[in-house]
Structure 1
């Protein structure tokens, strides 16, 4: 297998299953549950004796460099993050495996989910980068949201529930970075921004199902789900039943 570089993305190669893999010029072996970082400028040739299942996670260089600047790590550039071939760092591996599982279970991810995935995986990389000197990231100061900032964010979500909501939209209302907003919002509400938006969409959908004769498809679009199937899937996971069954129970 030959991989070619990307101009504006680094690639995390996560070996999910299959035969062991060797990279030309390296003595290390990539086995299931291991990973490595392929920098944007890097080209690689990999050899395996049999089929291999890889997951490639493409992270924008600029996004993770901005993360490093925000939290004041001694990792000045994302290009310096040394994820070795065959890396078995527990936190990085766990983060990748968890996010890959969630991604596979989310056929229609929202913009805010992509934003959160980028930050969470980027944070795992940066923790790996400073592991030799620090158990935690340097200078990752906690941010907080004022009551006015929280009102602005909550009001925006309620008003724009049917539209595409991004992490940048929400962080912009509070005047802090996306990374700091994620931390502050969760500390305030107990939910990640995406989880909170989903909860509000479900609450609005339940109200429509109880009190209106709209079709389920129309309700799904009116509360910001990409389709009726998407809302039904979320309903099953979060409520334990389908929208149609929920409406039936509420009207009996």
Structure 2
């Protein structure tokens, strides 16, 4: 496993009870936490990866609230029974617990390098980067409980079962496949050229959709759809194509190792690099290098 969530947190009045129970599937890591809470307990959290927090069970008449601005909590967090919170990558959030003695929750951490490759044609960058805090969704909640059961089951079922559950939840959470197709306007030539130049100049690092939207003065959703209407592919797919083109230049140097190329090109590791390269080029990087190195 190469994906490791790097959550940073600061908590007060929250004590973890028992051992952390977790499982890893293709592009998703799931943690089940049981905690005891004192009155006014809370925390501050930020992670470089998007995640979903699902309240499974709670003891007490109150609730938990999660906000993006410290101190701006709701008056009655117990109105939502067991809330869900989707937090995009890099978004800092604060939580407060009110009138609860104990809490059990599931955290799902999404590896977008893997999921973006698996579902490149279906993903909507706007949905991935839009926070959804304190919401209810019976379908997502039901899938989350099945995932939590897999985490706490000592033997567990086949990994394909867990992978199927996390995939179904990911699709339901981001409503993949449920968006109606609408005819979108294309980007003006100058904006399109500016966006393409920026992507190709920065293709070896992770480019956030917000960067491209700011570059063109558009919303993330409008830019994403207008770019695809103009080029026939999503921005992240254009970036991956540009990254592979840059990688080929690196591979033309016979003295360059595949590990060096994978690192320089921003891939998680050599295995991830090989999978993406083979999917897009039709052969492995090693085979391509043997046939094209100077």
Under a length normalisation based on structure 1, what TM-score does the superposition of the two structures give?
0.51
Structure 1 residues without counterparts, runs of 5 or longer: 15-20, 27-35, 48-53, 69-77, 90-96, 103-116, 126-134
Alpha-carbon deviation of 1:150? 1.0
**Residue 82 (structure 1) aligns with:** 136
| Alpha carbons 1:186, 1:192 under 8 Å: kept | yes
User: Is the CA contact 1:13–1:57 (under 8 Å) kept in the aligned structure 2?
Assistant: no
Match of 2:189 in 1: 147
2:84 counterpart (32, 38, 49)? 38
**Structure whose residues are more often helix by fraction:** 1
CA shift digits 1:135-189 (9 cap, x unpaired): 979xx99564211111011111222233442222222211112233222222323
Pairing 1:48-87 to 2, within 5 Å after superposition: 56-57=108-109, 67=130, 78-79=132-133, 81-84=135-138, 87=141
Q: 2:223 is matched with which residue?
A: 181
The structure-2 alpha-carbon separation of the partners of 1:196 and 1:101, relative to structure 1 and needing over 3 Å to count, comes to farther
Alignment partner of 1:235 out of 277, 280, 288: 277
Give the one of 239, 248, 251 matched to 1:197: 239
CA–CA separation in structure 1 for the residues paired with 2:225 and 2:249: 30
- 1:80–1:100 distance in 2 versus 1, CA, 3 Å: closer
What's the CA shift for 1:67?
4.5
Aligned to 1:247: 289
Q: Compared with structure 1, are the counterparts of its residues 67 and 163 closer, same or farther at alpha carbon in structure 2 (3 Å cutoff)? A: closer
User: Do 2:84 and 2:136's aligned partners in 1 also have CA atoms closer than 8 Å?
Assistant: no
1:176 partner SS: coil
Match of 1:165 among 207, 211, 217: 207
CA 1:121–1:25 in 2, change beyond 3 Å: closer, same or farther? same
- The structure richer in strand per residue is 2
RMSD: 4.8
Question: Could you say what secondary structure the match of 2:290 adopts?
Answer: helix
Deviations 1:30-85 (A, max 9, x none): xxxxxx633554666459xxxxxx55259xxxx98x958xxxxxxxxx55633348
Q: Unaligned 5+ residue runs, structure 2?
A: 1-32, 62-81, 86-94, 111-125, 144-162
Residue 2 (1) aligns with residue 55 (2): no
Aligned residues, how many?
Answer: 183
- 1:213 matched to 2:249: no
Distance 2:165 2:225 in 1: 18
